[in-house]
Copies of this chain bind each other. A is one copy, B any other.
Amino acid sequence: MSVTAALGFSAAGTAAGIKENGDLDVALVVNEGPGRAAAGVFTTNRVRAAPVVWCSQALQDGELSAVVINSGGANACTGHEGFEDTRATAERAALALAGHDVSDIAVLSTGLIGVRLPMERLLPGVDEAAAKRSRDGGETAAMAIKTTDSVHKTAVAGRDGWAVGGMAKGAGMLAPGLATMLVVLTTDAALDAESLDAALRSATRATFDLIDSDGCMSTNDTVLLLSSGASGLTPAYPDFAEAVRTVCADLSRQIVADAEGASKDIRIDVVNAASEDDAVEVGRSIARNNLLKCAIHGEDPNWGRVLSAIGTTSAAFDPDQLDVAINGVWVCKGGAVGEDRDGVDMTGREVVITASLGAGTTAVTVWTNDLTAAYVHENSVYSS
């Protein structure tokens, strides 16, 4: 599975010693061709890590031939020297891979902000990963990009002789912990960069963009999609876009399920909104309400906190037309008390909040997590 499910890709993971505990910390994904079209989406945080700046430049020609990823350090807020470290990483990979152009090599980093990477360990790690890369290396690569992730995350989709595979790390698009969301997707379907870009943006908008574990946007978030074309097939665009979306949705759900310190996965269905923008604004406002997130942790169907979160948005709605269900019980009807809150069973890991705005027909689903003492603990210790 993972990034080597699609033909034409090799991968590896290795322990270069960036992480002090000896865990895997360098991953390499290589597009062995024949094609090298690629697309990417990046954090909208204006404080962008050096590797994000590098990758956006590398992608300007719509081609990538390899991705080097390190965990154990985000290389963010590291100034000019940090950018030179990223460039040196790409140069080393180009050298080790022979025949790859440095400007086609993406570099992704995740870990602490404001700390320079130990290049004397990272660069030999790149050599080692290049040497041991293989068609079976996808799982090991997925393990090497973990930071506070408790499990590695992979997914695959496709049919009729072509595939889309991927790996992810992170616990929220707006990532918790020291962390970041990094995703590398690969496909052996033959598509041009423009089609890849369209499929990727459409998929991330409906998946990764709608998971909001803790409202904190990373400086490093990156999602890349590389095409080798090795299957020799060019699927119909809708089929391909659907496969990309399936893999992104799968990885998104895995990220939510692995969010730092979380005890509940909260699915927020905003329905009857006047527009997609309204629905997303309302969903995000609910997802970011700390009081509600605490209540869900306590298995308290506190719909008043849902209403007060909706009330802070600019979405179209009449307060007297708001309905809210928690796990299927309409505890709020017409902006006031509805069905008996004692009928709500919140003992499961997944909690579904349905917020009906009564203003249209658009629906959007946003995912978040509860707020727990474990989250506070994990994020109050610097070296976690």
Contact A308 B216 (CB under 8 A): yes
Contact of A112 with B by CB under 8 A = yes
Residue in B44, B78, B290, B379 whose CB lies within 8 Å of A215: B290
Q: Closest B-chain residue to A81, C-beta based?
A: B336
Contact of A131 with B by CB under 8 A = no
Residue of A112, A336, A380 with most chain B CB atoms under a 10 A cut-off: A380
Give the chain B neighbours of A322 by CB distance below 8 A: 47
Give the chain B neighbours of A112 by CB distance below 8 A: 304
Contact B216 A305 (CB under 8 A): yes
User: Which segment, of A13-21, A118-126, A236-244, A293-301, faces chain B?
Assistant: A293-301
Residue in B76, B116, B302, B376 whose CB lies within 8 Å of A376: B376
Residue in B79, B311, B376, B382 whose CB lies within 8 Å of A371: B376
Contact A303 B114 (CB under 8 A): yes
Q: Closest B-chain residue to A372, C-beta based?
A: B376
Contact A219 B113 (CB under 8 A): no
Contact A47 B336 (CB under 8 A): no
Give the chain B neighbours of A302 by CB distance below 8 A: 113, 382
Q: Closest B-chain residue to A216, C-beta based?
A: B291
Q: Closest B-chain residue to A308, C-beta based?
A: B219
Give the chain B neighbours of A359 by CB distance below 8 A: none
* A window 17-73: CB within 8 A of B: 44-48
Residue of A114, A334, A372 with most chain B CB atoms under a 10 A cut-off: A114
Known: A113-B307, A308-B216. A300 touches B372 (CB 8 A): no
A383–B116 Cα gap in the complex (Å)?
48
Quote the shortest CB–CB distance from A135 to chain B (angstroms).
Answer: 37
Q: List 30 A-B contacts (CB under 8 A).
A: A45-B312, A46-B311, A47-B311, A76-B307, A76-B308, A77-B304, A77-B332, A77-B336, A77-B337, A78-B336, A79-B334, A79-B336, A113-B304, A113-B305, A114-B304, A116-B337, A176-B291, A216-B289, A217-B312, A219-B311, A290-B371, A290-B379, A291-B379, A294-B376, A294-B378, A294-B380, A298-B381, A298-B382, A371-B376, A373-B373
Interface residues of A (CB under 8 A from B): 44-48, 74, 76-79, 82, 112-116, 176-177, 214-219, 288-291, 294-295, 297-298, 300, 302-305, 307-313, 317, 319-320, 322, 332, 334-337, 371-373, 375-382
